[in-house]
Amino acid sequence: MIKAQKNEGLNIIPFIDIILVLLAMVLSISTFIAHGEIKLELPKTDSSTQASDKKDKIQIAINAENLFFLNGQESSLQEIQTKLDSTQKTTAIELKSDKNARFDGFIQIIDILRKNHHENFQILTERTQ
């Protein structure tokens, strides 16, 4: 006589493990997206400049890896130049550069501003403590 195998059901423990890993990934990614910040360590000065609250401003940042960001989005130097070419000279421009970024990238941005005769810009820093 052949015994019938006992049907023990579906083992869901590996499924739960996979779901927990996916949940951890989603939570860590959504935290980054929610903050959406570009990691910059600004130079420290005694007379630091704070960001303005104007809505019609352009933000240009250079991170430690010398990548350029235009209003929080990674951009090339050419894209920044195109944007500044089509921007009014009275528009406020905020420049932020990581203290470990190459000075060359910062000078290239200043050169673009000079060519377009933009004089309404700020260089943002942190206050020394």
The predicted model gives 90-116 an average pLDDT of 88
User: By 3-state DSSP, what share of the chain in percent is helix, strand and coil, each rounded to 5?
Assistant: 35, 20, 45
Specify the pLDDT at position 5.
66
pLDDT in tens, 24-82: 888 877 655 545 566 766 767 766 556 656 677 889 999 888 889 998 888 899 999 99
Predicted TM-score of the model (pTM): 0.62
Which pLDDT belongs to residue 47? 67
Tell me which architecture the domain covering 44-127 has in CATH: 2-Layer Sandwich (3.30)
d(CA 94, CA 59): 5
The most distant pair of C-alpha atoms in the chain lies apart, rounded to whole Å, by 96
Residue ranges per structural domain of the chain: 44-127
Cα 129 to Cα 45, 46, 114, distances in angstroms: 9, 8, 33
Taking only the tens place, the pLDDT of each residue in 4-31 is 666 677 788 888 999 999 998 888 776 5
